[in-house]
Amino acid sequence: MDPRCLTNSLNDQERQTFEEKGYLLVPKALSPGDVTRLIGLVDRLGIERADEVEPDGRLHLRDFLREDDLFMDLLDWPRTFPKVWGILGWHLQLYLSHIDITPPLPVDQHRTVTLGWHQDSGRVNLEMETDPRPRLSIKVGYFLTDTTEPGCGNFWVIPGSHLKNKLDRPTDGISNPQGAIPICVPPGSAVIFDRRLWHSRSPNHSDRTRKAVFYGYSYRWLRPRDNLRIEDYEDCRDPIRRQLLGAVRDGHGYSSPEPEDVPLRAWLDEHQGTNSGP
C-alpha cells in the first residue's frame, strides 16, 4: 500500500467531528488530474451503460471497479483510506461502490417534493433492535463536479442525525427535516459518512451534470452488496486490496480471521509501529 497513507491518519479533531456530526469533509482528496481522469471514465461508463438510466435521467452504476486501474486505486486512496481504517479499524472490506450521475432536470420537471432521506443498508435498519443502531459501515463519496452552490444535485445530510433511528419528517411532504444542509464542495472533495447519517441525493437545477463516486467500507462479516467477487479480480495481486475485495481462506475467516485473511492488520502494525488492537 502507498506509504503516503501514513501522513493522512485520522487526527483527534477529525475523529471528534465524525463522531459528533456523523460525517467528515476531506478537501482536495483528488487532484485536478485525478478528477479529469475520473470524469472521463464516468462519462464513458455513462454512455456504455445508458440503458440503466432511471426515469428522472439519473444513472446509478454499480460493479465498475474492474473497468480501470484508477477505480482500483481508489480502494486504498492515500487521502481517504487512512481515515476509513481510523474509524473502523483493520477488519475491513469494500461492501459497495456506486457511481451517481445526476443530469440537470428540465425546468418543466422541477418538482417540490421532499428529498429521499434514508440511512444506508436497507433492512439492517428494521432488523437491528438497538437505539441507536450500530455503525457497521461508512462511505466515502468523491465529488467530481462543482457543487459549491446548492441546487447542483448536491449530497444532503442532517448533521448529528446518525444517532437517531427515526427521522422527524415535516408533514407537508415538501420541506426538509430540521437541520438538513446541502454539502457544498468543489470538485475533488470527499465526504466520509456514517451509514446511519440521514442523507439524500437531490435534484440538479444547474446547467451541468453532477458526477460522484461512492465507496462503502464495512466490517468483513457483513455481506457485500456489490455483485463482483474476488474471483472477478484475477489481476489483483496486492494483498490489502484482495482483503478489501473479499479474499478469504474459508468461511470462518470472515469473522475469525487468520493473519492471511487480513494483511491490513500486519501492515498497520509494521508501519504505524503500534499494535493495531484486538
Contacts with ligand AKG by CB under 6 A lie at 100, 120, 139, 155, 199-201, 212, 214
Shorter beta-carbon distance to ligand AKG: residue 14 or 120: 120
For cell 430540521, the residue is 178
C-alpha cell at 7: 501522513
Query: In the complex, what is the shortest distance from the CB of residue 21 to ligand AKG, in angstroms, rounded to a whole number?
Result: 17
In whole angstroms, what is the distance from residue 28 CA to residue 187 CA? Answer: 8
C-alpha cell at 166: 427515526
C-alpha cell at 148: 459549491
Shorter beta-carbon distance to ligand AKG: residue 202 or 243: 202
Select the residue whose beta carbon is closest to ligand AKG and give its number: 201
Query: In the complex, what is the shortest distance from the CB of residue 210 to ligand AKG, in angstroms, rounded to a whole number?
Result: 8
Cβ neighbours of residue 270 closer than 8 Å, sequence gap 6 or more: none
Shorter beta-carbon distance to ligand AKG: residue 153 or 263: 153
Shorter beta-carbon distance to ligand AKG: residue 102 or 262: 102
Q: Is the dihedral of CA 29, 80, 195, 99 positive or negative?
A: positive
Shorter beta-carbon distance to ligand AKG: residue 8 or 200: 200
Contact 202, 115 (CB under 8 A): yes
Query: In the complex, what is the shortest distance from the CB of residue 138 to ligand AKG, in angstroms, rounded to a whole number?
Result: 11
For cell 494483498, the residue is 239
Shorter beta-carbon distance to ligand AKG: residue 76 or 120: 120
In whole angstroms, what is the distance from residue 18 CA to residue 162 CA? Answer: 10
Query: In the complex, what is the shortest distance from the CB of residue 198 to ligand AKG, in angstroms, rounded to a whole number?
Result: 10
Report, in angstroms and rounded to the nearest whole number, the Rg of the chain calculated over CA atoms.
19
Contact 211, 39 (CB under 8 A): yes
Contact 258, 248 (CB under 8 A): no
Query: In the complex, what is the shortest distance from the CB of residue 36 to ligand AKG, in angstroms, rounded to a whole number?
Result: 20
Shorter beta-carbon distance to ligand AKG: residue 84 or 212: 212
Query: In the complex, what is the shortest distance from the CB of residue 185 to ligand AKG, in angstroms, rounded to a whole number?
Result: 11
* Residue 165 CA from chain centroid, whole number: 20
Query: In the complex, what is the shortest distance from the CB of residue 29 to ligand AKG, in angstroms, rounded to a whole number?
Result: 16
Q: CA dist 102 to 30, 43, 184, 249, Å?
A: 20, 12, 15, 40
